[in-house]
Amino acid sequence: MPSLSSQARGAASRTAGSTWLEQLTRGGLVGYGIIHLLFAWLILQIAFDGSGADGDQSGALHELAERPFGTFLIAVIVIGMFALVIWQVLEAAIGHRSERGRHRVYERIVSAFRAAFYAYFAWTGIKVLRGKKASSADTQQKASEDLMASTGGRITVALAGIVIAAIGIGLVIYGIKQKFEKHLKVSQMNARMRRLSLRLGVAGYTAKGLAYGIAGVLFLTAAIQYDADKARGLDATLKVLAEQSYGPWLLALAALGIAAYGLFSIVQARYRKV
């Protein structure tokens, strides 16, 4: 008689292989790509128009909410984000069929982190739909202020900075080494599409990695200097870039990289192994 754990794994495998989940997941990847394209547009506005909007994905959602049919689109994106959460939770629970051994364990851990990340985006979208000023940057700054009231809290903020910086470095390596390609159905791509996906993937992951790396360093600096203004995640990163000699052009370069990641996510919607 099968054990409870084997029954659970069997149910998870059937759910992971379901058509409805695959279609919702692919739709979620499109939504994730749209968020990054909006984020890239927001960065350009900050660079050349002096926009005061939050320079992160929550700012992009607020930007979308102000457009015609924006609320509807955010609702669709939220549904897609929840599909991505379910997909990654299942990947974390049972692993991908193509992975083996120690590498499979690593991929399951990464899937767990991705699930948490997508859940955060979904929750941010829900707050925007409810009319709340869902600023990720303000939330991060307030949390950092509260934590830095004690020595242990400052250490926590510093450790968070180290982790974020490490994630950034990992994303850069992931992109430059083109490790993302193993998750794509390369055999279904023609030569032009494969070249395009490689270029978008390398540029996108590198840009995101650099942004998170700078954000992590700023979190660490915030803990050392008791300056919670630096603990605003991507928003603080953009402000640091804007303050440089060629700030607008650095931001424009960052926007191109983020846009590349957004387009890569849309490509994934068609070719990702789900």
Tokens representing 51 are 């926009």
Residue of 163 and 228 predicted with greater confidence: 163
pLDDT at residue 245 in the model? 78
> Residue 29 is part of which domain span?
7-271
Q: Which DSSP letter does residue 68 get?
A: T
Half-sphere exposure at residue 155, Cβ-oriented, CA atoms within 13 angstroms: 3
pLDDT of 172: 95
The pLDDT of residue 171 is above 70? yes
Q: What is the pLDDT of residue 166?
A: 93
Residue 136 in this model has a pLDDT that exceeds 70? no
Instruction: Say if residue 1's pLDDT is above 50.
Output: no
Read off the pLDDT band of 200 (50, 70, 90): very high
Q: Sign (positive/negative) of CA torsion 242, 213, 109, 193?
A: positive
Is 185 a member of any domain?
yes
Q: What pTM does this model have?
A: 0.80
252 burial class (0-12, 13-18, 19+ CB within 10 angstroms)? Answer: middle
Per the domain annotation, does 162 fall within a domain?
yes
Question: Is 58 within 8 Å of 138 (Cβ atoms)?
Answer: no
Q: What is the mean pLDDT of residues 154-172?
A: 89
Judged against a pLDDT cut of 80, whether residue 98 lies above it is answered with no
pLDDT at 244: 78
Domain total of the chain: 1
DSSP string for 10-60: HHHHHHHT-HHHHHHHHHHHHHHHHHHHHHHHHHHHHHHH---S-SSHHHH
**pLDDT above 70 for 14:** no
The stretch 95-100 carries a mean pLDDT of 59
Higher pLDDT, 93 or 151: 93
Q: Which pLDDT value is given to residue 144?
A: 64
Name the burial class of residue 4, with classes exposed (0-12), middle (13-18) and buried (19+) by CB atoms within 10 angstroms of its CB.
Answer: exposed
pLDDT digits (tens, 9 = 90+) for 59-79: 777 777 777 778 888 888 889
Domain assignment present for residue 169? The answer is: yes
Q: How confident is the model at residue 8 (pLDDT cuts 50, 70, 90)?
A: very low
**Is 1 part of any domain?**
no
Q: Classify residue 2: in a domain, yes or no.
A: no
202-260 per-position pLDDT tens digit: 999 999 999 888 888 888 887 777 766 666 667 667 777 777 778 888 888 988 999 99
pLDDT category of residue 270 using cuts at 50, 70 and 90: very high
